[in-house]
Chains A and B, each alone.
Chain A
Amino acid sequence: MTAALRFDPIRLPEKCEQLRKEVRAFLAEEIAAGTFDPHKPNREDTDAPEFSRRVGAKGWLGMTWPKKYGGQERSFLERYVVTEEMRVANAPTRRFFVADRQSGPVLLKYAPEHIKMDILPRICRGEICFAIGMSEPNSGSDLFAAKTRATKTDGGYLINGTKIWTSSAHIADYMIAIFRTSQPTKENRRHGLTQFLVKMKQPGIKVNPIGQITGQYEFNEVVFTDFFVPDDHVLGEVDGAWKQATSELAYERSGPERFLETYYVLTELVRAVGPNPDTRSAEGIGRLVAQLHTMRRMSVSVAGMLQAGKEPVVEASIVKDIGTVWEQQLPHRVRDLAAFVEETATNRETLERQLDFAIKTAPKLTIQGGTTEVLRGIIARGLGLR
C-alpha cells in the first residue's frame, strides 16, 4: 500500500471524563457569572484577561509541559478535552489559545533556559498573550519569501519590515516571528530565515488594526522600525527556521478548533427544529452529525498518535483539510435546513444572528493557519506524488 494512513480508534481514558466534568462545571459558573454568553460566538475581538487567569489557575494552560515551567505534565488527550469543551461553549480563549497551543511548545524546544523559566510560567498562569508573525504583505502561503530583515548588530539584531494578518498583535505581549537573517541560497530557497521571540508593546513596533469582513478588528499589520532584539531571543538555528517549522504543524492542524469554529449553528438548528423534526430536517441533521462525529474521531486519533510520540503530519493535514471545509460549509447547510423552521421557534432570532456571523466568518476558515491548497500539497507529498 502506498498510503498507509492510520486513524486508530482511540478511546479517551477515564481521567479525561473526570476532567471534562470539571471543565463543564467551571464554564457553567463563568456563564452564570456573566463572563461570556455561550450563544454569542463573537469572541474574536473579545479580550478576557481575568477569565484567562482563572483558566490558568485551574491548571489548564500548558498542561502537557514540565512542572518546573509551571506545567502539569498531563497528556495531550487531557488537553484535547479542555480545548474542545472551551470551543463548544464559545469561551473567550483568544488571549491564551495561541500561547498554549503553539508558542509555548516552540519556546520549550528552542528557547534558552532563563527565557523558559521567565515566560512559560506566565503563560501557564494565563497572564500573557502571544501572536505569530509569519505572513508579510508579499509572502503569505509562501512562507519562505519573507523579507522582513534582522540585521546583526552589537548584542542582537535590528528588525526592519512588516508582518501582516497577525492575529491578536494588538493585545499580544510577545510574538514569535520569522525574520530574514541571510539571503536564500541557490540550492535551498528556504535557507536564511530565523525564528525570534519578540517582546511587543515597545518603541520600534507599530501595530495597525485591519478591519475584517465580519466587522471585527482581530488581525493587524505590524511594522518594525530599527527594533532591537537581543541575541538570546533567537529561537533555534540562525538561518535554519525551515527545519523547525514542520514538526509543529501536527499540533497546530489537527485540534478541535479545526472543525468546531461554527459548531454553534448546528446546536441552535437542533433547538429550532424541536423534538419532532420533519424528514428533511432529520436527514440534514443526521448527516451533519455523522460528519462531525467522524471528524472528531479522526482528530482524537491524531491527538492519541501525538501522545504516543508519533508525528502524523499527513493525517493532521487531512483533519484540517476536511475539518475546515466542513466548518466553512456548515452555516450554509444549516441555513438550508432552517429555511422552513417555524416562525414561532423561540430561538429563531438567536439562530439568525448566529448564521449572519458564521456566514461572514466562513471564508477565512480555509485560509488561516495553512490554506486548503497548501494542505493538499502536503498530503500529496505524503502520498508520494511530489
Chain B
Amino acid sequence: MAESDNIVVETAEKIFADLADPQTINNDKKNSWQAPLWQALSEAGLPLSWVPDDLGGSGASLADGFALLNAAGRFAVAVPLAETMLAGWLLAQAKIASPEGEMTVLPASPRDRITLDADGSLSGRARGVPFAKTAKHFAVLAHGKDGASIALVDAGKGRIESGLNVGYDHSDTVTLDKVQPVTLKAAPKGLDQTTLMLMGGVARSLQIAGALESMLDISVRYSNERVAFEKKISKFQAVQHNLARLAGESAAALAAATSAADAIANAEAFNDEVYLEAASAKIRCAEAAEKGGAIAHQVHGAIGFTMEHILHRYSLRALAWRDDFGSESHWAVELGKLVASRGADELWPLVASR
C-alpha cells in the first residue's frame, strides 16, 4: 500500500514524516528523536490501536492496525510500536486492560515456553524478545495444567540479558523466575502460542513489506541520480533488470503480507486457510528481505554500505525481522507438515480457498 487510505495510517505517516525523517534520525547518534516520536505516537493512541476503548486503547480495527504496521515498516523506526500493539492485542484477548507505556510480548519464538505454576507465578526463558530492555510491561502467554493463560507482567520483575539484532535494535533474553504477574486470566478458547506467533509473524511480514517498498523507492531514486560511465546508472540494462527484480520481491512481500492481514482481519478462527496465509507471508517476506535487500545494496554500491547512508536502516531491519515469531525455516517446516498431513489431493483446495 503505497498510499494511505485510512485515518490511522494518515495520522501515523504524518507523525513519522515530522519526527522520524530517516536522514535526520540516522545522523542523530544520541537517539534524541526516540522520546518525542514515542510521545507523539502515544498521544495519537497508535501503540494501543488494537485495544478496545474500555480497556484503555483506541479501538481501531485489526485491518487498520495491520495497515499501520505496513506504514511503520516503510519508515523502519526503532520504537516498539508493533510490539506494544501486539502486547495490547494479546492482553485484550483476555479482557486485560493495557497500561501506559512501552510493552512487548513473550515468548517471541515458537521454541520458547513460559509456564504457569500452581501458585500463579510465571517461569521460563524467552529469547529474542524485541525491545524487552526498554519495555515497562510484558504481555505474556503462559501454559499451565489448565491450558493457556495471558498475563500482564511488570518488566522490572524479569531478568534481562540485553542483546542487539542484526538491525541494531534491542532483542533481549528475558528470564522469569517465579514472577507474580500484575494480572492473570485464562486465554480464550482457540488462542494458543501458535496463534500468537502467527499474529506476530504477520506483523513482521507487513513491516518487511514496508521496508522493501522504501528500499525500492530509494534505490530507484539513487539510480536516477548516480552517474557512472558518463550516464545515469538507471540507463544500464543490468541495473534496470536488477531493479525490476527488486520491484518483484517488494510486490510479492506486499501481496503476501496484506493478503494474510486481510485473512486474519476477516477470519472467525485460526483455521488451515488462515494458517496458510500467515505462514506463507512470513516465509515469502523473509525470502524477499534477503533477495530484495541484496539488490538494493548492489544498486547503491559502497555508499549503501556506510552507516551514514539510510539504506541499512531498512535492509538490516528487514533481515532482523525475519527472526522474530518464528523464522521462515520454522514456518516452512510447519506448513510442509500441514500440507503433507492433509494429503496431496487436498493441497490445491487449500491454495484455492480464497
Binding site for B on A (CB under 8 A): 1-9, 11-12, 20, 84-85, 88, 266-268, 270-271, 273-277, 279, 281-287, 289-298, 300-301, 314-315, 318, 321-322, 373, 375-377, 379-380, 382-386
B243 CB–A CB distance under 8 Å: yes
Most chain B Cβ neighbours within 10 Å, of A267, A271, A277, A283 = A283
Docked Cα-Cα span, A271 to B259, in Å, equals 28
Q: In the complex, A88→B256 CA distance in Å?
A: 21
- Closest 5 pairs between A and B when the two form their complex, measured CB to CB: A282-B336, A286-B332, A286-B336, A271-B344, A380-B240
Question: Which of A84, A273, A286, A301 has its CB near the most chain B CB atoms (within 10 A)?
Answer: A286
The A-contacting residues of B in range 317-348, CB under 8 angstroms, are 328-329, 331-337, 339-341, 343-345, 347-348
Give the chain A neighbours of B281 by CB distance below 8 A: 294
Given known contacts A9-B259, A9-B261, A385-B243, what 12 new A-B pairs fall within 8 Å (CB)?
A2-B221, A5-B2, A85-B352, A267-B345, A271-B344, A275-B340, A282-B332, A287-B332, A290-B284, A293-B277, A297-B354, A385-B224
Is B254 positioned at the interface, with any CB of A under 8 Å from its CB? Answer: yes
State the CA gap A221–B334 with chains docked (Å). Answer: 49
Q: Which residues of A contact B343 (CB under 8 A)?
A: 270-271, 275
Which B231-288 residues sit within 8 Å CB-CB of chain A?
234-235, 237, 239-241, 243-245, 247-248, 250-252, 254-256, 258-259, 261-263, 266, 276-277, 279-281, 283-284, 287
Q: Is the CB of B280 within 8 A of A294?
A: yes
Chain B residues within CB distance 8 Å of chain A: 1-3, 213, 216-217, 220-221, 223-224, 234-235, 237, 239-241, 243-245, 247-248, 250-252, 254-256, 258-259, 261-263, 266, 276-277, 279-281, 283-284, 287, 328-329, 331-337, 339-341, 343-345, 347-348, 351-352, 354
**Using Cβ atoms and an 8 Å threshold, which residues of chain A touch B2?**
1, 3-6
Tell me if A290 and B283 are in contact (CB < 8 A). Answer: yes
CA of A213 to CA of B266, assembled, Å = 47
Q: Is the CB of A380 within 8 A of B244?
A: yes
Q: Contacts A11-B354, A287-B328 known; A380 to B243 CB distance under 8 Å?
A: yes
| Interchain CB contact under 8 A, B247 and A383 | yes
Q: Choose among B258, B280, B332 the residue that contacts A293 (Cβ–Cβ < 8 A).
A: B280
Known: A7-B251, A290-B283, A385-B240. A279 touches B344 (CB 8 A): no
Q: Is the CB of B243 within 8 A of A5?
A: no
Q: Which of A6, A287, A291 has the most CB of B within 10 A?
A: A287
A379 lies within 8 A of B247 (CB) = yes
Contacts of B345 in A (CB 8 A): 267, 271
Q: Which of B3, B247, B255, B351 has the most CB of A within 10 A?
A: B255
A318/B251 contact (C-beta < 8 A), A5-B2, A270-B339, A286-B283 known: yes
Contact A11 B262, beta carbon cutoff 8 Å: yes
Q: Is the beta-carbon distance between B247 and A289 smaller than 8 angstroms?
A: no
B351 close to A292 (CB less than 8 A): yes
Residue of A nearest to B252 (CB): A294
Which single residue of chain B is at the shortest CB-CB distance from A378? B244
Q: Are A286 and B351 in contact (CB under 8 A)?
A: no
In contact, A289 and B333 (Cβ under 8 angstroms): no
Q: Is the CB of A298 within 8 A of B332?
A: no
| A377 to B250 alpha-carbon distance, docked (Å) | 17
Is there contact, CB below 8 Å, between B335 and A1? no
Q: B residues within 8 A CB of A318?
A: 247-248, 251
B336, A383: Cβ atoms closer than 8 Å: no
- Given known contacts A3-B220, A273-B340, A266 and B284 CB-to-CB distance under 8 angstroms: no
Instruction: Report Cα–Cα, A9/B257, bound state, in Å.
Output: 9
Contact of B284 among A3, A84, A294, A385 (CB under 8 A): A294
Which residues from B are CB-within-8-Å of A321?
244-245, 248
Could you tell me the distance between the alpha carbons of A338 and B314 in the complex, rounded to whole angstroms? 37
Q: Are A379 and B244 in contact (CB under 8 A)?
A: yes
Q: Which residues of A contact B328 (CB under 8 A)?
A: 287
Choice from B213, B332, B336, B347 contacting A3 with Cβ under 8 Å: B213
> How far, in angstroms, from A5 to B352 measured CA to CA in the complex?
24
Question: Does A298 lie within 8 Å of B240, measured CB to CB?
Answer: no
Do A3 and B240 have beta carbons less than 8 Å apart?
Answer: no
Q: How many Å lie between the Cα of A314 and that of B250 in the bound state? A: 13
Given contacts A270-B343, A293-B277, contact A7 B254 (CB under 8 A): yes
Residue of A nearest to B209 (CB): A7
Q: Does the CB pair B241–A2 fall under 8 Å?
A: no
